[in-house]
Structure 1
Amino acid sequence: MKKILFLLTASAAIISCSKVKDGEYLITGTAKGIENGKTIILQGQDPTTRMAVPLDTVKVENGKFEIKGKVTEPAFHTLIIQGANQPFPFILETGEINIEIDKDSIHKSKVSGTYNNEEYSKFNEDLTKTQKSLIDFQKKNTTKMQDAQKAQDTATINGLMKQYMQIQTEVQANTKKKYVAYAETHPKSYISALIIQSMINDPSNDIKKTESLYNALDESVKNTTPGKEIKTRLGQAKMPAVGASAPPVGSAK
């Protein structure tokens, strides 16, 4: 009995410690090296025009910043940091989101704290490993390619391009496999919805496989904007093409 009471008390304490309610978000960020007073803009997307729109603006104070608000569903947003060379993407969703800004290399910044952002970080790390061979080839041969172009060495240029295309083809195939494998094993992830959405936009993909992945998604993911768009597109894919003749009455089905 004492153990049960302890667990209930501990659970209540954890819940009460949460700084946000359902449908709310709290972004707590560290911005080391960024001067006090520099602005950070939370940028989203207009649902109608799909144009980028600023949602909130805060200032850095003692290397930290905080943004709080309400959100109805997970969706990609960006932080625009004054003086940084590029925006930082993350998934805005219910919960406490932690962001560590690396002002000199935004791509090295980190996001954590909520399920989809944790998944996004792991997904990116895995994808980087998959694409490493292509990146390594570029680093190794950039100078060689530049020298060949200056010397108009066609043989070297063509040879490097052929090798690059071979590696690129392999990387693309492996990346595609990673996408499908992720969607198959992460039905509750917002990333899975985006993967399936990209699959349905690719005519080379098997529509039955795409539908199977969609059907396996958690209801919470199906109810997101990309989830609803996938459902609509799947419905359209099943409709007969314009001008196609209907099967005769009484024909075998």
Structure 2
Amino acid sequence: MLRLKDFDAVTFDVYGTLIDWEPSIIAFLDAWAEKEGIKTRGAELLMAFDRARAEIQKERPAYLYPDVLRKCFDRIAVELDLSPDPVQREAFSATPHFWPAYSDTHDGLKILQRAAKVGALSNIDNASLASSCKNMNFTFDLVVTAERVGAYKPDWPHFNAAIADLQAQGIPKERILHVGQSLRADITPANKLGIRCAWINRPDRLLGLSGEGAAEAKPDLTLSSLAELVAAIS
């Protein structure tokens, strides 16, 4: 059993775990596909996005997240035999500022913050995360973004930076719990680094559940919501 008293810090993946991004991504891509007369919809477009995103985020030097979204949009367009639309590309790159938080995010984070440092380890740029923090109405004690470390999870720089920051505050790796929805980007690297982890498997959500390394993931605890996590470890 994982108990909150055994940890001094709880770090979170943000998008998919705390921010409910998939419906917004699907809605944007569906509207675009309909406008272009393309029949591909829903999960197919979402997984096309996931494939493109995983490949683009491996490239070094790393792109800022709005550029990742621009490149994803262009690759999806090519996959659908469409010419990239610069107006739609720019609109897609700005969507993170409007992605909503899950209904249990704010209360769950505030409860955890009473007992531990709460951090964000996110494959995002600083400006987009700032908007998401406003949408969550929450201020993290620790923030590690892709923009800060110049890399994207599942690469380890996010985790290494968080471990170093927390060690500087007297919190060893053994007292960190990492929480994520993505098996590929969060649970598998946490396993490899010896960080205990909880998988929030949000119902009907798909991103990060497949691809390189996902099948190897071994969470210490599996739940379906942040509220369930708080209840289980408190």
TM norm structure 2: 0.28
Report which structure shows greater RCO (CA 8 Å, sep ≥6).
2
Which structure has the larger Rg over C-alpha atoms? 1
